[in-house]
A and B are shown apart, each in its own frame.
Chain A
C-alpha cells in the first residue's frame, strides 16, 4: 500500500498550511517528499514553479523543523544556527549578524554559547526554528514541532509561531495530528486519512462544512443520525430520520445527493439546543437525559431520543454549584435541531 496516494495540494505563497491526520495517514511522508528526503514513485513536487524531481534536500530552498529537533549536540547554539549559513558559504561577519538576529527572533538572545543539552525542551524547539529560519527558505516545513512540549507551552508556541509566520511572510507547511493546533494556526488545512486528502479548506470550512463523515468525525465531535432524503431543492433537503421518527426540514446538503438516497445527518454537540420546555418549532424532539459529565468549562449531556443516542454540549455560563441549576439523569428534555446547523452527508 502506498503511504501517500494521488495527493494533490496547491499551497499558496505566504500561507500557513497544515496537514492534519492521525499517524500513518501520509502527512509526514508528504512533508518528507517536499523536503527531498523521499521521492515520489509517481507525480511531482513543484516549489516556486520548479519541478523538484530528484533534487537532493541540500539543494532545495526548503528547511525543516524536525519533530525530535535534531539539534547537533556537539555544537553550541550559535554553531547550530550558523551551520546552514556556513554551508551556503556566507562570510563570518554576515553569519554573526544573521545568527544574532535569528536568535533574537526566537527570544534566545545570549544563549549562543550553550550546548543544546543545557536548554529546556521549549528552548531547544526555538533553536530548531531559528536554525531553519536563518536560511530564509521559500518554504518552512514543520513536522509536529510542538509534540514534545507540555500543553500550556504548546498553546503559547502556537500563537507565537503564527505571529512569526505572519511577520516573516514565509510559507509554513505544518504537520500535526492535533486538530485544535491545526485550527488555531492555519490559513488552510488538508485533512488526511489513509494516504488521501479527505478535505482541504479553511478552518471554518472544514469544521462547519465537513466534506464527509470521516472529516466530521475527526475534527471536533459529531452526532450522526441515519436518514433518507424525502424531498430536495437546490441546496436544501427534507430528511426523514427513522431513529427520531421525524422529518428535518430545510437542511443544507453537500453536492451530488439525490431524492430517496440514504444519508447521514450530522450535527455538532454544541449546536444542539436543549430546553426543559417545549417551544413551538418543527425540529423539536422529546428526549431523556442518560448521563451528564461536568468538565469545567462545559458539561456534556448524553440524551436518548426514541432510541437514538445524542451528545449535547452546554457551556457552563453560570455556576453549577447548585445541582438544581442543571439537567439530571432521567430528566425529560426537549432538543432543538436547527436545520441550518445540521448537515446532510453522503453515506460512506
Chain B
C-alpha cells in the first residue's frame, strides 16, 4: 500500500490536496450554494426562510420599494444602492491611501541596510500581534471627543491662547477611512517590499548609466518591476475592505453603514436571512468584477505570497 503510494505521484498529489479540498467544500462551496438558495427565498413573518424562487430581494437591493408616499405603488429608494456605492468608494479610497503610504515605506525598507531591514519588517508586523478588534477600539480611544488627539490638540491650542472646542472625529466617514488604512497597511507594505527587494541593484546602475536620472529610473524601472507587489497588495487590501463591518461598526457607529454592516444586521437584527444572502452575493459579484478588470489590466501579482 505505502510502497504503491510512493511510486504513484498523482495519488500523492490527491492525498496532499484532500484535507483542504474537503475543508473548502464543506465550509465554502456548500455555504455558498445555501446562500444562493436562501437569497431567492422569502422571509416569513416570524423570521424564518420560506423557500421559493423570487427575485424580490435583489430587486429591493437595487432600489425597488413599495413603501412609497402619496399612494404610489412603487418607487426608487436609493438606500441600499448608496450603501453599495459607499462601500465601493471607501474600498477604492482605502486602497489608494494605503498604496500611497505603503510604497514609500516599502521602498525605504528595501533600500535599507540588510541588518536593519529585518527590524523594520518586524516593526511593521508588531501591530498584527494584537487582535483586529482591539486595534480598532484603540482608535476609538484616540479619536473620541475626550480622546488622546483632542487632549493634545487642547494643550497646544491652550498654550497658543486660541479657543478650542474638541473635534468630532469619531463616528464620521473619515474615522472609518483612517481605521481601514491603519488595519490594512501591513498587507500592502509586505508584498511591495518583497517585489522591490528582488530588484537587482545593477538595474538602477544600468538605468543611470544609460542616461536616466533618479526620477526616470523610478518611473521606467523601479515602478514597473514592483507592480506585481502593488497588485498583490491591492488584492489583499481591496477585497477585505469591501466586506469588513467591524471597523465601520466601531468607528462609524450608525453614521457609516457599509455592505458588511448591512449583511450583519439583516442576519442578526432584522432577522431576514433572505435579504442578507442576496446582499452577500451582490457584494461577492461586485468584488469579483472589480478584481477581474484590475487583474486583467495589471496581471495577477506574482508575489501574492506574503514574505
Taking CB atoms, residues of chain A closer than 8 Å to B221 are 72
Stretch with Cβ within 8 A of A (4 or more), from B33-41, B212-220, B269-277: B212-220
A119-146, CB < 8 A from B: 131-132, 135
Interface residues of B in 180-224 (CB under 8 A from A): 200, 202-203, 205-213, 216, 220-221, 224
- Find out whether the CB atom of B205 lies under 8 angstroms from the CB atom of A37: yes
Alpha-carbon distance between A56 and B204 when the two chains are bound, in angstroms: 13
- A58 with B211, Cβ < 8 A, contacts A73-B225, A74-B224, A74-B225 known: yes
Looking at the complex, which one of B200, B208, B209 makes contact with A68 (CB distance below 8 Å)?
Answer: B200
Nearest CB of A to B83, in Å: 40
Which of chain A's residues has its CB closest to B223's CB? A74
Roughly how many angstroms separate A233 CA and B205 CA in the complex, as a whole number?
Answer: 55
Interface of B is mostly: helix
**Chain A 61-101 per-residue mask, 1 if CB under 8 angstroms from chain B, else 0:** 01110111011111000000001100110000000000000
- Whole-angstrom CA separation of A88 from B224 in the bound complex: 21
**Distance (whole angstroms) from the CB of B212 to the closest CB of chain A:** 5
Are the C-beta atoms of A57 and B200 separated by less than 8 Å? Answer: no
Residues of chain A in range 27-63 having any CB-CB distance to chain B below 8 Å: 35-37, 56-58, 62-63
Q: Contact: A84 with B202, CB < 8 Å?
A: no
Interface size on B, residues (CB 8 A): 17
- The listed residue (A58, A67, A73) touching B208 by CB distance below 8 A is A58
Known: A66-B205, A68-B202, A70-B205. A135 touches B225 (CB 8 A): no
Complex alpha-carbon distance, A37 and B203, angstroms: 12
Chain B residue nearest to A84 (CB atoms) is B210
CA distance A73 to B222 in the complex (A): 11
Contacts of A132 in B (CB 8 A): 209-210
**Contact in complex: A58, B206 (CB < 8 Å):** no
Chain B residues, Cβ within 8 Å of A66: 202, 205-206
Contact B205 A64, beta carbon cutoff 8 Å: yes
**Which of A67, A68, A83, A135 is the one whose CB lies under 8 Å from B207?**
A83
Given contacts A70-B200, A72-B221, A73-B225, contact A64 B206 (CB under 8 A): yes
The answer on a CB contact under 8 Å between A35 and B209 is yes
> Are A135 and B210 interface neighbours, CB within 8 A?
yes
| Given known contacts A58-B211, A135-B210, A72 and B205 CB-to-CB distance under 8 angstroms | no
Task: Across the interface, name the chain A residue whose C-beta is closest to B227.
Answer: A74
The B200-256 residues at the A interface (CB cut-off 8 A) are 200, 202-203, 205-213, 216, 220-221, 224-225
**Which residue, B209, B211, B216, B224, has most C-beta atoms of chain A within 10 A?**
B209
CA–CA, A63 and B205, complex, Å: 11
Closest CB in chain B relative to A270 CB, distance in Å = 40
In this complex, the member of B202, B212, B213, B221 whose beta carbon has the largest number of chain A beta carbons within 10 angstroms is B202
- Write out the residue numbers on chain B whose beta carbons fall within 8 Å of the beta carbon of A87: 210-212, 216
Interface string of A265-298 (1 = CB under 8 A from B): 0000000000000000000000000000000000
- Nearest CB on A from B62, distance (A): 42
Do the beta carbons of A58 and B213 come within 8 Å of each other? yes
B194 to chain A, nearest CB (A): 16
User: Which of B202, B209, B225 is A57 in contact with, Cβ under 8 Å?
Assistant: B209
Q: Is the CB of A84 within 8 A of B205?
A: no
Given contacts A73-B225, A74-B225, contact A64 B209 (CB under 8 A): yes
Within 8 A of A (CB), among B137-183: none
Complex Cα–Cα for A251 and B37 (A) = 103
The interface residues of chain B lying within 8 Å CB-to-CB of A71 are: 206
- Cα of A68 to Cα of B202 in the assembled complex, Å: 8
Cα(A84)–Cα(B207), bound, Å: 8
Kindly state the separation between the CA atoms of A36 and B208 in the bound complex, as whole angstroms: 9
Shortest distance between the CB of A205 and any CB in chain B (Å):
32
Q: Are B208 and A63 in contact (CB under 8 A)?
A: no
Chain A residue contacts of B216, Cβ below 8 A = 87
CA distance A277 to B213 in the complex (A): 72
A302 to B212, CA, bound (A): 57
* Contact A70–B203 (Cβ < 8 Å): yes
Assess whether A58 is in contact with B200, with CB atoms less than 8 Å apart.
no
CA distance A87 to B216 in the complex (A): 8
Chain B minimum-CB-distance residue to A73: B225
Contacts of A84 on B, CB cut-off 8 Å? 210-211
B213 touches A70 (CB 8 A): no
Interface string of B69-92 (1 = CB under 8 A from A): 000000000000000000000000
State how many angstroms separate the Cβ of A5 from the closest Cβ of chain B: 24
Q: Is the CB of B211 within 8 A of A88?
A: yes
**24 residue pairs bridging A and B, Cβ less than 8 Å apart:** A35-B209, A57-B205, A57-B209, A58-B208, A58-B209, A62-B209, A64-B206, A66-B202, A66-B205, A66-B206, A67-B202, A68-B200, A68-B202, A70-B200, A70-B202, A70-B203, A71-B206, A72-B203, A72-B207, A72-B221, A73-B225, A84-B211, A87-B211, A135-B210
- A83-B212, A135-B210 are known; give 5 further A-B pairs, CB within 8 A: A70-B202, A70-B206, A72-B203, A73-B225, A84-B211
4 closest pairs, A vs B, by CB?
Answer: A87-B211, A84-B210, A70-B206, A70-B202
Q: Which residues of A contact B (CB under 8 A)?
A: 35-37, 56-58, 62-64, 66-68, 70-74, 83-84, 87-88, 131-132, 135
